[in-house]
Structure 1
Amino acid sequence: MVSLKQIALLALTTGLVSVDAQSSGETTRYWDCCKGSCGWSGKASVNQPIRSCDKQDNPLTDMAAKNGCESGGQAYMCSDQSPWAVNNTLAYGFAAVKLSGGTEDSWCCACYELTFTSGPVTGQKFVVQATNTGGDLGQNHFDLAMPGGGVGLFNACTSEWGAPPNGWGKQYGGISSRSDCDNFPAKLKAGCQWRFDWFKNADNPAVTFKKVTCPKAITDKSGCIRNGETPV
C-alpha cells in the first residue's frame, strides 16, 4: 500500500502539486467609496486591516477612523483598490465577498482566483483580495470593486469625489459606456476604463473560484496580509 507520505513525495519529485478544489460562484460589481469592512482591527487574523484613505485619497494611519459612508466619517476606499490588467487573460483587484461556510474572520484579506465561466470574459482569470462584505450579497458571491460599477446600498462617492447624488450612472450597475469614464476623477479613470477594456463590459459573469496565496502586487496596495501567509 502506498502511504500518504509516499504520495506527497511523488508529487514533489514529479512536479505535480495539488490545488484547492474549485467552487462555483456569482459576481456583481460596485464602487461605493466607503471604507471596507475589513478596515477595522479585530476582524481577522492579519498583520493590519486594509488601508483606508482620507477625502484627498491619502492613506490614513488611524485604523479606527469613522466610515465615510456615515455622517461625519473621514475614511474612504482608496483609489488604488481599483482593478488592473496583468496581461490579456489575467487581472488583479479587490472585492466585497460572502462565502458559504465562513465569516469575515476567515475571508478578510484572503485572495481568490476567479475564473470566468460565462460572457465575453469566459476563461479569463481575476485574482481578488477580499476587502469588504455586504448584507445584500448571496453565498459564494464576489462583488467586484471597479470605479463606476454602481454604489449599491451606500454612497460615499458624492462626499469624496463630488459624484452625482446616486453615484455615477445607475445605483446598481453604474455607468453604461467607456466614454462615461472621461468625466471621472483622474485617479479613478484607469479603473473605470478597465471594465470596458480587459473586462469587456461583462455583465455579472459566473465564476469558479479557489483560494490562493495573495500576490504581493495586491497586498502592497491594501497593506493587509493574513497571518502565516507570505505574498508571492
Structure 2
Amino acid sequence: MLSIKQLALLALATGLASVDAQSTGKTTRYWDCCKGSCGWSGKASVNQPINSCDKSDNPLANMAAKNGCESGGTAYMCTNQSPWAVNDSLAYGFAAVKLAGGTESSWCCACYELTFTSGPVNGKKMIVQATNTGGDLGQNHFDLAMPGGGVGLYNACTNQWGAPPNGWGAQYGGISSKSQCDAFPEKLKAGCNWRFDWFGGADNPDVTFKQVTCPKAITDKSGCIRNGENPT
C-alpha cells in the first residue's frame, strides 16, 4: 500500500494534484458598526484604506477619523459593506479575517473565495474582502460582516443607530429570525435579510478558501485595492 507521501508524489508526477489548492477555515458572523481595522493608513500596501462613514452613513474624507467604537469617535462601518447575492450560488461581502502565518499587512483588502462545506449553504461560494481583524479570532477564521450578526467585543451600533445596549439580538450571534430584520434601519435591512435568504440562516459553516483577485463590485464599495491588483 502506498504511503500518503508516495500518493502525493504520484499525483504530482501524473498531473493529478490540484494547482488551485485550498485551505480549510471557519466562519462566524458579526456587525459591530465600528470602523474596520483596515481603515487606517499604513496597514498594508494599498491605494487607500477602506472607506469609513459618519454617523449618518456618509463616506468620510478624513481617513484618520477616530473609531466610532471609542468615546468621541466619528468613524463607522459603511452600510454598503453588507453582503449581497450575485446569484443563487454566489455572494459577495466583507469580513474580519485572521490567517495562519500572516499579518494584517498581508490580508488587508485582499479577497478570498470561500466555498461552504457544511450547513444549508454547503456548496455555495462567497467572495469576501478582508476589511477588519479581531483579537478574538482563531487561525484561518473569517468573521463575516452581516447586519444583525452580533456586535461581539465592540459595539458602535447603539451610538450610530440606537440599537439595544448589546446590539440587536445576542452579543455573539445576533438575531435569530428574519422577522427581526423589520426593525432595523432601512439601509441595513437588505443585508440582514440576506442572512436568512441566500445564507439560509446558516450557523458558522465551515469553508475551504483561496485568495482571488477582488471583484470590482467589491472594491467599488470599500475603495481599497491592494497595490498591483486589477479588480475585474
Q: TM-score, normalised by structure 2?
A: 0.92
Post-superposition CA distance 1:49-69 (Å, at most 9, x none) = 000000000000100000000
Matched positions, count: 215
Shift of residue 20 of structure 1? Answer: 3.6
Counterpart in 1 of 2:34? 34
Counterpart in 2 of 1:9? none
Helix, strand or coil: the match of 1:51? coil
- 1:226 and 1:19 mapped to 2: Cα distance? 23
Counterpart in 1 of 2:10? none
Shift of residue 39 of structure 1? Answer: 0.1
The answer as to whether partners of 1:157 and 1:163 remain within 8 angstroms in 2 is: yes
Counterpart in 1 of 2:92? 92
Counterpart in 1 of 2:202? 202
The answer as to whether partners of 1:47 and 1:227 remain within 8 angstroms in 2 is: yes
Pairs within 5 Å for 1:1-232: 20-232=20-232
Percent of aligned pairs with the same residue? 85
Helix, strand or coil: the match of 1:69? coil
Shift of residue 19 of structure 1? Answer: 5.1
Shift of residue 21 of structure 1? Answer: 1.6
- 2:63 and 2:74 mapped to 1: Cα distance? 11
Helix, strand or coil: the match of 1:211? strand
The answer as to whether partners of 1:115 and 1:207 remain within 8 angstroms in 2 is: yes
Q: Which runs of 4+ in 1 moved over 4 A?
A: none
- 2:113 and 2:208 mapped to 1: Cα distance? 8
Helix, strand or coil: the match of 1:86? strand
- 2:172 and 2:55 mapped to 1: Cα distance? 23
Q: 1:107–1:68: structure 2 CA closer, same or farther, 3 Å change rule?
A: same
Which residue identity lines up with residue 80 of structure 2 in the other structure? D
Post-superposition CA distance 1:191-212 (Å, at most 9, x none) = 0000000000000000000000
Give the gaps of 5 or more residues in structure 2.
1-17
RMSD value over aligned CA atoms? 0.7
Shift of residue 131 of structure 1? Answer: 0.1
Q: 1:65–1:24: structure 2 CA closer, same or farther, 3 Å change rule?
A: same
Give the gaps of 5 or more residues in structure 1.
1-17
